[in-house]
Amino acid sequence: MSSTMQRRTPLAQRTTPPGVTLVPSTMGGYSVELDGVYAGWINAAADGSRFNAYLRLQDQPPGEFLGVHSHDAAVETIVAAHRERGAVSRERQAA
């Protein structure tokens, strides 16, 4: 097992914001779902102890890089960005 994998805290021991589900990905990271909607993803950064956070963008793959954070902060950053962008999208649709 790689040192990156050994440093990870088991998913069951992590705390996630309400409505968030983390789904292990085939690339060694996690998909971040918010209330059943695919909001973004995280994967281990080069040092193995922090995570790259990406916001899913519907119209421009591959997504928006949101920085390198601790695991929990990466998830919270994606959730906050998704909620903010979702609110903007809903406002545009209503106009």
Where in the chain are the domains? 3-94
> Which of 36, 21, 17 is CA-nearest to residue 80?
17
Question: How many residues are listed for the chain in this entry?
Answer: 95
- pLDDT tens by residue, 1-53: 444 444 455 555 566 788 999 999 888 899 999 999 999 999 999 888 899 99
Task: Give me the half-sphere count of Cα atoms (radius 13 Å) on the Cβ side of residue 11.
Answer: 12
Predicted confidence at residue 11, as pLDDT, reads: 55
- pLDDT tens by residue, 52-75: 999 998 777 788 999 999 999 999
Provide the whole-model pTM: 0.75
Taking the CB of residue 20, how many other CB atoms lie within 10 A of it? 17
Predicted confidence at residue 32, as pLDDT, reads: 95
What is the torsion angle, in degrees rounded to the nearest 10, for the CA atoms of residue 87, residue 91, residue 93 and residue 95? Answer: 180
